Structures are given as C-alpha cells and as structure tokens.
Amino acid sequence: MFSFLKLSLLIVLSLLSLVSFAQLKQFTPGELWPDNKGVHINAHGGGLLYFQGKYYWYGEFKSENTSSALVGITCYSSTDLLNWTNEGVVLPVSNDEQSDIAKGCIMERPKVVYNANTKKFVLWFHLEIKDQGYKVARVALAVSDSPTGVFEYKRSYRPNAGIYPINFTDAQKQTTINIDSLPKGKSNAKFEAVVAGAYLKRDLQGGQMSRDMTIFVDDNGKAYHIYASEENQTLQIAELSDDYQSHNGRYVRILEGKHNEAPSIFKRKGKYYMITSGCTGWDPNAARMAVADSLFGTWTELGNPCVGTDAHLTFKSQSTYIQKVEGKKDLYIFMADRWTPKNPIDARYIWLPILFENEIPVLKWHDKWNI
Ligand code: GAL
C-alpha cells in the first residue's frame, strides 16, 4: 500500500515537473505565457535588456484587483526570448508610507539600460505617488550592479526643470497663454496653445511632466528618455547624462499636440522608427508610427503600422517596447500589452515580428510564430 502511494506521488510529481518545464517553441500572442514555474509571466508595460548572451525582461508586477504597485518591478531572464526564468522582484515597493515608492504607488513602464563605463544597470520608470492619481507625472530611477538586482531606489523628478527644449523657438518663448483658463475639452484654440508650448511654459520651473516612457541607447552609447509630456499631448525626447542617471538638459518636443503615449522605438539602416498609441487609457486604439533620420527630428508620421483584422486596435493591445533579436540580421519584435484592468494580473502579451514592406515597418497578426 505504502509503496503504491509513494509510486503514485512520484508519478504525479514527475508529470507536474514535465508540465512546468516544457520548453516553449513558439510565441502565442494573447495566450497565457508560463514562466519556468508554469506561472503566467507578471512583467507588464515591460522592456528588455540584452546583456552577455541573455535577455532580461523587466515589467510591472500586476495584482488581481488593482493596477497600483503592491509588489514592485519584476525581472525574468531568457536565452531564447520564449522560455523565461523568474528572477524575482528587482525593485520592491517600500513599506515606508513616506517613500516615493510606498506600496500602492504607481510604477509603470520600467526600462533598464546598462552603462559600460560605470558598469551599473539603471532602471527608469514612470512614477506616481500613492493616492495622487496620475497628477505627479514623474520619472524615477534605481541602480544596481547586477541585472537581476536588487536595484537601489534613487529619486523621482520631472525632467529638465528651468530649461527650454532646443527646438523651442523665440516666438514660442514669448507666448503667454494660460492654457488652464481655456474651456475644458478639445478645441482648436487649445490645440494651438499646446503646439505653441503653453503646457511646457506652465511647467518650465518645476520640470516637464513625464508619464508613459521608454529609454533608447543609440549606437554611440548615448541614452535617451522618450516620454509623454505636456498633459500627454506632446512627446519629448531628452538626452541622459553619460552615466545614464540624470538628464543633461538637451531635449526636444516632437509630434506637438498629437497626443501620443506608450512610445517604443528601434533603429534600422540609420533610420529611427517610433511606434506609439493614442491616449485612451487601458482601452486599445490604433497604433501610430513615425520615422526620423535623427532622434531629435524631424519626425515624419507614417500612420498605423498594423494591417488586417483589429488593426485599428493594434490587435487589442498597446505598445511597450521593440527588441532587436541578437544574431538575426533583420528581426525586431514589437512588444505590446493587452490590458485587462478588471483583473490586471491576467493581462496578456502581444509580441509580433516587425515585417518590412518596401522598407516600411508593418505589423500583422500571427496566432503562432517563432524566430
Ligand atoms: C495608459 C498608459 C498606461 C497607464 C494607463 C492608465 O494610457 O499607457 O501605461 O498609465 O493609461 O490609465
């Protein structure tokens, strides 16, 4: 009897280990994505870092009833982009109510970059202080000696306080529109005021609003922070300092008044491509794409890169990052989130290969695909 029980237990255990360690062979966008323990990956609004032969995926740990940060920022590692090992929480929320990252704050869209000079990993993310909705609109950073943390939280702020963007004209510097006194809702007058830089001037002394964001490191090692600013109406691109741990004051406004969020970016054949979303909160909308020969512009809009069913909803998802696949000449993965705000932990990942048609990036739905 005893040995029968023991044998059954052994069989069950080995079956379980087979299930949880089954190697994934294909991307299945929109399906549950089990990690090495068989648990759906919890790294939303994420970004990847490639370091010494491994990919690291950083993202927001989402819970069942809230999108606020109850746990922190998580990390997974992989050598094939399909099978991910849970490396745990690399920046936990704080139990100190006074901390910027107090449990219950909002930590979104984390991105990690490695600085070869300082040998430090720098984690940047969008931070909102607990119980203040989205009004604080700050960027925050944490630093670590290892890609798997733990990261030491440094500070949060609104970038470029007191500094005009390099593409802000003298005429724009003279404008004195009080944009907050204009009637609420959309209007031409409001759009023109945004384009003229009324929010930028309103926020000049305290620093620019910084919500949805990504970080991009160019071939020459310079790093850039790309963020939804000016009440989400205008994107700004700001250069980081050489150690990647602050802003150096050089920045531009792009796509002024065009209402872009969720910026993701890649460089191919000397051109920079940015894929963003419109601003409809957790609900999906049509992606937008723009191209430039230089990061600081001029950026030219190319329209929605998605084609086919649900192209107008970015296949029911919102961009978060674009990763070049190492060792492949021309393979870039578009990463997006299919949000489920009623049960945030269940949100799915939409990873799709970027195709090029007449040299223009195109996104098409695939139920399954592999590298
Ligand atoms: C989205 C944004 C997300 C999150 C959400 C909150 O537009 O991309 O990162 O901030 O709004 O409603």
Of the listed ranges 2-11, 119-128, 238-247, 313-322, the one predicted with least confidence = 2-11
Predicted confidence (pLDDT) at residue 14 exceeds the cutoff of 80: no
Q: Is the pLDDT of residue 1 over 80?
A: no
Of 266, 293, 254, 261, residue with least CA distance to 280: 261
- Cα of 60 vs centre of ligand 1, distance in Å, is 12
Q: How many Cα atoms sit within 13 Å of 318 on the Cβ side?
A: 23
- Burial-class residue 162 by CB neighbours within 10 Å (0-12, 13-18, 19+): exposed
Q: How many CB atoms lie under 10 A from the CB of residue 119? A: 8
* Cα 321 to Cα 275: distance, rounded to the nearest angstrom: 9
Q: Report whether pLDDT(240) > 90.
A: yes
Q: List all residues whose CB is within 6 A of at least one atom of ligand 1.
A: 45, 108-109, 212, 261-262, 279, 281-282, 318
Q: What is the pLDDT of residues 109-152, one digit of tens each?
A: 999 999 999 999 999 999 999 999 999 999 999 999 999 999 99
Instruction: Output the residue whose Cα is nearest ligand 1's atom 11.
Output: 281
Ligand 1 nearest atom to the CA of residue 108, by list position: 9
Q: What is the mean pLDDT of the chain?
A: 95
CB 307 within 8 A of CB 287: no
Express each pLDDT in 34-84 by its tens digit.
Answer: 999 999 999 999 999 999 999 999 999 999 999 999 999 999 999 999 999
Taking the CA of residue 261 as reference, the ligand 1 atom at the shortest distance is 8
| pLDDT recorded at residue 12 | 52
Q: Are 107 and 63 in contact (CB under 8 A)?
A: no
State how far the Cα of 155 lies from the Cα of 140, in Å rounded to an integer.
Answer: 6
Q: Is 36 exposed, middle or buried (0-12, 13-18, 19+ CB in 10 A)?
A: middle
Residue 127: strand pairing partners: 107, 138
Which residue's C-alpha comes closest to atom 1 of ligand 1?
A: 281
The pLDDT of residue 11 is above 70: no
Give the C-alpha separation, 40 to 38, whole Å.
7
Ligand 1 atom with the shortest distance to the CA of 318: 8
128 CA from centroid of ligand 1 (Å): 12
Q: Measuring from atom 12 of ligand 1, which residue has the nearest CA?
A: 281
**Distance from chain centroid for Cα 237:** 14
Sign of CA dihedral 40, 211, 123, 56: positive
Q: Which span out of 2-16, 17-31, 352-366 was modeled with the highest average pLDDT?
A: 352-366
Query: Using one digit for the tens of pLDDT, what is the confidence trace for 250-290?
Result: 999 999 999 999 999 999 999 999 999 999 999 999 999 99
Amino acid at site 360: I
d(CA 114, CA 233): 30
Joined together, the tokens standing for residue 335 give 């990463």
Q: Of all atoms in ligand 1, which is nearest to the CA of residue 280? A: 7
Minimum CA distance residue for ligand 1 atom 8: 262
Which atom of ligand 1 lies closest to the CA of 45? 9
CA dist 371 and 357 (Å) reads 19
Q: Which of 71, 77, 34, 33 is nearest to 58 (CA)?
A: 77
Site to substitute for ligand 1 among 108, 210, 319, most atoms within 8 A of C-beta: 108
Strand 306-307 and strand 360-364: the pairing is: parallel
191-213: average pLDDT: 97
Please report which confidence band the pLDDT of residue 15 belongs to, taking 50, 70 and 90 as the band edges: low
In testing the pocket of ligand 1, which one of 111, 125, 211, 335 has its CB within 8 Å of the most ligand atoms?
A: 211
Distance 281 CA to ligand 1 centre (A): 5
Q: What per-residue confidence (pLDDT) applies to 7?
A: 53
Which ligand 1 atom is at minimum distance from the Cα of 67?
6
Closest residue (by CA) to atom 6 of ligand 1? 281
Question: 22 pLDDT exceeds 90?
Answer: no
Confidence band, pLDDT 50/70/90 cuts, at residue 307? very high
Confidence of residue 8 (pLDDT cuts 50, 70, 90): low
Q: Which helix (H) or strand (E) holds 296?
A: none
What is the 180 CA–ligand 1 centroid distance (Å)?
Answer: 22
Task: Summarize the confidence of residues 306-317 as an average pLDDT.
Answer: 98
What is the predicted pLDDT for the residue at 6? 58
Distance 108 CA to ligand 1 centre (A): 8
Predicted TM-score (pTM) of the model is: 0.94
Rounded distance from Cα 232 to ligand 1 centre (Å): 10
The alpha carbon of 318 and the centre of ligand 1 are apart by a number of angstroms equal to 9
Q: Is the pLDDT confidence value at 106 over 70?
A: yes
**273 Cβ contact list (under 8 Å, min separation 6):** 265, 266, 267, 289, 290, 291, 322, 361
pLDDT in tens, 159-175: 999 999 999 999 999 98
Looking at residue 140, what is its pLDDT?
A: 99
Q: What was the pLDDT predicted at 175?
A: 85
Nearest CA, atom 9, ligand 1: 212
